[in-house]
């Protein structure tokens, strides 16, 4: 579809409900809508098309879609009374899992696009305008990647840090999780396309690339006669001029291979901060979850990573109340948390997801027990986060500055550990990596002072 002349342009709003992949896809959908003549808006008010990019991971996330659609129904009716149209699309993982049901339950919806079909949004729009209500739900990730090559992502002006999709889908089938069903099998994007995207981002001023995928460290691509792993990608991307920092998320412990651990040691651009979900510290629960490793395997893996890069800080995901989880199992999780020590974490009550093996089990845990365990785990994780931040006070850390702060003269950047830091300075800080002495912790960010005025030379 060609760009429309300015006078005819409408407004498009994409709302993201999910993980980093979902956020990346939302930016992608926003860019495609722009090409189709809809400038990006920050809300539904002045949008002519609204796309909800949904998440199916937990029950609450999925429910949000229907409450949001209820509000859009009212807005669409108001618009119709004024003789103005509102087109409503549902994309993402709920779309994939429940597309037909959405169309049945919510007449306000004009089209449904699964996570592998965003590149077909022009077609979906055209069909919706013709009065159809199409549902695109096939798995065709390779086509999605090809489209990304032919019509590259648009970059937000002055963006310093960017996500780059390198891999999609999951073959792990953890017994609690919907992702293998909503996103399909693991597939990796061509290495030259990823390099080209990062080079383009870097030439537009991006200094940090976060490589994303449902199982990003399962990345494997052999389209050019050799096999590229995530470690190979890092070696190549660390050499892209302008790129100072590389990160990746989300990883599975089983795919943390020797070469990737060595990349943490050998490449200073790879940040010493790793999100490595463990879910539980109980071997019985890990087995029931089909995680295929024990809690000691995880401890040993962390030891190896810390041996390679001693300043590595960790973050993780936890689930409490998986079916059959006993009080002792939960104590084992607390013990693992104490043993490892996490700088930051995400923790959730187990949510029964239709179609997953965990949902079929008869030994579901009572809501009250889940609540209590979550509160106890979160208190421990929060104390570790606070202690980690407190231990940074007095240290000098490299900070990549991204944007102005809330107050005049303040600028915000991130440490290697993703903590946000507020510093007094000037706009010339943005996009540079500076040495900052951490002065004090705040509730959500740290406060620091510039150590010197020389820019750190990015390695």
CB of 168 within 8 A of CB of 141? Answer: yes
The closest of 431, 395, 426, 396 to 413, measured between CA atoms, is 431
58 binds ligand SAH (CB under 6 A): yes
Using CA of residue 319, residue 263, residue 401, residue 453, what is the dihedral sign? positive
Using CB under 6 A as the binding rule, whether residue 182 contacts ligand F3S is answered as yes
Q: Is 252 in the site for ligand SF4 (CB under 6 A)?
A: yes
> At its nearest, how many Å lie between ligand SF4 and the CB of residue 291?
7
Determine contact, residues 392/446, Cβ cutoff 8 Å.
Answer: yes
CA dist., res. 36 & res. 118, Å (int): 13
Q: Which of residues 19-38 bind ligand F3S (CB under 6 A)?
A: 19, 21-22
CA angle 399, 404, 409 (to 5 degrees): 95
Q: Segment near ligand F3S (CB under 6 A), from 15-23, 39-47, 397-405, 433-441?
A: 15-23
> Of these, 351, 389, 415, 422, which contacts ligand SAH (CB under 6 A)?
351
Q: How far is the CB of 294 from ligand SF4 (least distance, A)?
A: 16
Q: Are 57 and 180 in contact (CB under 8 A)?
A: no
The residue from 27, 44, 47, 55 that contacts ligand F3S (CB under 6 A) is 55
Decide: 204 and 153 in contact? Cβ < 8 Å. no
User: Is 212 one of the binding residues for ligand SF4 (CB under 6 A)?
Assistant: no
CB atoms within 10 A of CB 14: 25
Q: Which stretch binds ligand SF4 (CB under 6 A): 69-77, 105-113, 121-129, 173-181?
A: 173-181
Q: Which residues 162-201 are close enough to bind ligand SAH by CB under 6 A?
A: 176-177, 179
Q: Are 370 and 378 in contact (CB under 8 A)?
A: no
> Closest approach of Cβ 215 to ligand SF4, in Å?
6
Residue whose pair of structure tokens reads 């929060």 in the numeric block: 382
381 with 340: CB under 8 angstroms?
Answer: no
Q: Is 216 in the site for ligand SF4 (CB under 6 A)?
A: no
Tell me the β-bridge partners of 53: 16, 91
Can residue 215 be called a binding residue for ligand SF4 (CB under 6 A)? yes
Residue list 64-103, contact with ligand SAH (CB under 6 A): none
Stretch that binds ligand SAH, among 34-42, 67-75, 304-312, 349-357 (CB under 6 A): 349-357
Binding status of residue 214 toward ligand SF4 by CB under 6 A? yes
Residues 281-300 that bind ligand F3S (CB under 6 A): none
Task: State which of positions 272-301 bind ligand SAH (CB under 6 A).
Answer: 277, 279
Segment lying near ligand F3S (by CB under 6 A), choices 4-12, 54-62, 198-206, 262-270: 54-62
Beta carbon nearer to ligand SF4, 70 or 346: 346
Q: For residues 250-269, which are near ligand SAH according to CB under 6 A?
A: 250, 252
84: helix, strand or coil: coil
CA pair distance 382, 344, nearest whole angstrom: 8
Instruction: Verify binding: residue 96, ligand SF4, rule CB under 6 A.
Output: no
- The bridge status of strand 161-165 relative to strand 208-212 is parallel
Q: Which is nearer to ligand SAH, 58 or 456 (CB)?
A: 58
Which of ligand F3S, ligand SAH, ligand SF4, none interacts with 92 (beta carbon under 5 to 8 A by kind)?
A: ligand F3S
What one-character-per-residue DSSP string does 175-240 give? TT--HHHHH-S-EE--HHHHHHHHHHHHHTT--EEEEE-TTGGG-EE-TTSS-EEHHHHHHHHTTS
Rg (CA), the chain: 23
| Residues of this chain that bind ligand SF4 (CB under 6 A) | 170, 172-174, 177, 179-180, 214-215, 252
Q: Given the rule CB under 6 A, which residues bind ligand F3S?
A: 18-19, 21-22, 55-57, 92-93, 178-179, 182-183, 214
């Amino acid at each position: 579809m060609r760009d429309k002349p300015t006078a005819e342009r409408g407004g498009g709003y994409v709302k993201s409900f999910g993980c980093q992949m979902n956020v990346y896809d939302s930016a992608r959908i926003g860019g495609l809508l722009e090409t189709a003549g809809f400038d990006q808006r920050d809300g539904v008010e002045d949008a002519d098309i609204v796309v909800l990019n949904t998440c199916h991971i937990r029950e609450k996330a999925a429910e949000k879609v229907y409450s949001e659609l209820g509000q859009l129904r009212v807005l669409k009716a108001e618009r119709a009374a004024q003789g103005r149209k509102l087109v409503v699309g549902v994309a993402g993982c709920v779309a994939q899992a429940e597309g037909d049901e959405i169309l049945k339950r919510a007449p306000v919806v004009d089209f449904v696009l699964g996570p592998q079909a965003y590149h077909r949004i022009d077609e979906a729009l055209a069909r919706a305008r013709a009065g159809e209500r199409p549902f695109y739900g096939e798995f065709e990730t390779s086509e999605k990647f090809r489209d990304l090559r032919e019509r590259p992502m648009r970059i937000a002006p002055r963006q310093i840090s960017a996500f780059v999709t390198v891999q999609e889908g999951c073959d792990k089938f953890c017994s609690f999780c919907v992702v293998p069903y909503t996103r399909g099998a693991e597939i990796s994007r061509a290495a030259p396309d990823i390099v080209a995207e990062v080079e383009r981002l870097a030439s537009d001023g991006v200094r940090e690339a976060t490589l994303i995928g449902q199982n990003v460290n399962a990345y494997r691509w052999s389209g050019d006669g050799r096999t590229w792993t995530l470690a190979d990608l890092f070696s190549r991307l660390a050499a892209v001029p302008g790129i100072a920092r590389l990160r990746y998320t989300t990883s599975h412990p089983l795919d943390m291979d020797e070469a990737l651990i060595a990349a943490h040691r050998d490449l200073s651009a790879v940040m010493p901060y790793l999100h490595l979900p463990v879910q539980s510290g109980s071997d019985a629960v890990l087995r029931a979850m089909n995680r295929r490793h024990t809690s000691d395997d995880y401890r040993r893996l962390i030891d190896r990573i810390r041996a390679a890069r001693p300043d590595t800080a960790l973050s993780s995901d936890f689930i409490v109340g998986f079916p059959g989880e006993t009080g002792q199992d939960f104590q084992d999780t607390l013990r693992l948390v104490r043993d490892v020590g996490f700088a930051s974490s995400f923790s959730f009550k187990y949510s029964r997801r239709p179609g997953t093996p965990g949902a079929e089990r008869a030994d579901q845990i009572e809501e009250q027990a889940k609540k209590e365990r979550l509160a106890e785990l979160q208190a421990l994780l929060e104390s570790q986060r606070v202690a980690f931040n407190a231990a940074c006070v007095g240290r000098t850390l490299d900070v990549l500055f991204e944007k102005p702060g809330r107050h005049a003269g303040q600028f915000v950047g991130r440490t290697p550990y993703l903590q946000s830091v507020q510093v007094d300075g000037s706009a010339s800080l943005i996009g540079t990596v500076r040495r900052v002495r951490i002065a004090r912790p705040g509730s959500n960010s740290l406060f620091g002072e510039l150590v010197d005025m020389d820019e750190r030379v990015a390695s």
